[in-house]
Amino acid sequence: MGRGRARSVSSWQGAPRSASGDSVARAREGVAFAKQMSELGAEYFTSNPAARAMLEKMEKLGFAYVAHEYLHAHWVPMYFAQLAAEMAGRGLHFVGQLPLYLNYRDLAIPQPLAAMFAGIDDRVAFESLKDFAINEYFRRDVFIKGRDLRSATATQTYLDATLFGSPVQGAPSRARRLSPTTRSTTREPSSTRSCPHSRRGAKTVATLAARPELMGFGIARVRDAVMRLALGEAIIPMREPTHAAPAPRGALYRLPSTYNRAALRAGLENDTPVALAVATAGTGIELSSIEAVALFLLTEVAHEQRTEWVRARCGRESFRLTVRGSAVHGEDEQVRVLLQEIDGFCLARLPKLVEMGVIARA
């Protein structure tokens, strides 16, 4: 994994340290100390909103994450150019960044800065400056052994030969926003035409372009729309065809994969997101902690017992419920909101999980 812009790292010997030497305990004490500094108006946090945001992220992700990510001996933040040079010295070369849309300058660079980046052809220089343009401080980079041969023809061949399907039943607006500063104002076949058909099963570009509703756009524009939908994670590549299947909301389902069953139980115990394997796509998909609860209900709890199970979960002393960044308080309100979120899961995710073979009728 690469790092974004450089951050200075210092250590004050007077800061509290865990007597036990336990890394998680040290992380807990360190975050508490930094939080106190922030709350008391330390200028570092007052003048650096990104530092406050990072501190909030540390609290949210947990102290085990903080210990793993920041407290080991080899944690050294650096500029992207430094990392790329080190990797190149070992025969490894940069091929791209995740999420995928960050590899496209018209999607990654804020519109007011587009002209400044227009003449930058060196990829390492582009990536280094882009980190400042979008305030990137934690990169996810892909390097390969040797150099790749990228071309527009190779991209077109891949898009034309690949099946694409939607991981959700909802509208394209549920997908990732590709750019915080740009919006498409041209008439394109993406949200209004291409995505609804991809939600009915995995399809190729040619299959979509042959549909009467899309024929007028031409295969090149449909191909571009498919690529943009994929970059926004509204659709994903599939290894094999999928077909829409009925998914009754009151039915009991099962997880055929042993790994997925274990991952779901682990996520449920820790109230964390769950990554499930999708054989038909050759990859994984992530479910939020609330979606994990919904999936557990659908696969382990009889329909008539689900409300009672939800109430018992909300009644736990340690239970916390946050929906789209807002905390939900009070057991009755938590039960109501959680059941509402589960209904939404049944509408948006359940049919697609059945279609992709992640779950099946019991």
Same domain, 257 and 289: yes
3: pLDDT confidence band, cut at 50, 70 and 90?
Answer: very low
**In this structure, how many other beta carbons lie within 10 angstroms of the beta carbon of residue 285?**
20
Asked if 351 contacts 244 with a C-beta cutoff of 8 angstroms, the reply is yes
What is the pLDDT at residue 196? 57
Same domain, 290 and 337: yes
Task: Kindly report whether the peptide bond that precedes residue 99 is cis, defined as omega within 30 degrees of 0.
Answer: yes
Comparing CA positions, the residue from 207, 206, 208, 204 lying closest to residue 194 is 208
83: which residues sit within 8 A by CB, 6+ positions away?
A: 2, 3, 141
Judged against a pLDDT cut of 50, whether residue 172 lies above it is answered with no
Whether 169 maps to a domain, the answer reads yes
Whether 213 maps to a domain, the answer reads yes
Whether 296 maps to a domain, the answer reads yes
175: pLDDT confidence band, cut at 50, 70 and 90?
Answer: very low
Percentage above 90 pLDDT, the chain: 46
Whether 36 maps to a domain, the answer reads no
6: pLDDT confidence band, cut at 50, 70 and 90?
Answer: very low
What is the pLDDT at residue 60? 81
Same domain, 257 and 351: yes
Same domain, 135 and 162: no
Whether 74 maps to a domain, the answer reads no
Q: Which domain holds residue 164?
A: 152-176+189-238
Whether 6 maps to a domain, the answer reads no
20: pLDDT confidence band, cut at 50, 70 and 90?
Answer: low
**257-314 pLDDT per residue, tens:** 999 999 999 998 888 889 999 999 999 999 998 999 999 999 999 989 999 999 998 8
CA distances from 252 to 99, 269, 294, 299 (A): 35, 21, 12, 6
Judged against a pLDDT cut of 80, whether residue 177 lies above it is answered with no
How big is the CA angle at 355 (ends 353 and 357), to the nearest 5 degrees?
Answer: 70
Summary mean pLDDT of the chain: 83
316 is written with which tokens?
A: 């736990």
Same domain, 108 and 158: no
194: pLDDT confidence band, cut at 50, 70 and 90?
Answer: low
Same domain, 257 and 355: yes
**221-257 pLDDT per residue, tens:** 999 999 999 998 888 999 988 888 888 888 899 999 9
Residue 314 burial by Cβ neighbours in a 10 Å radius (0-12, 13-18, 19+): buried
Domain count, the chain: 3
Whether 357 maps to a domain, the answer reads yes
Same domain, 139 and 156: no
What is the pLDDT at residue 138? 85
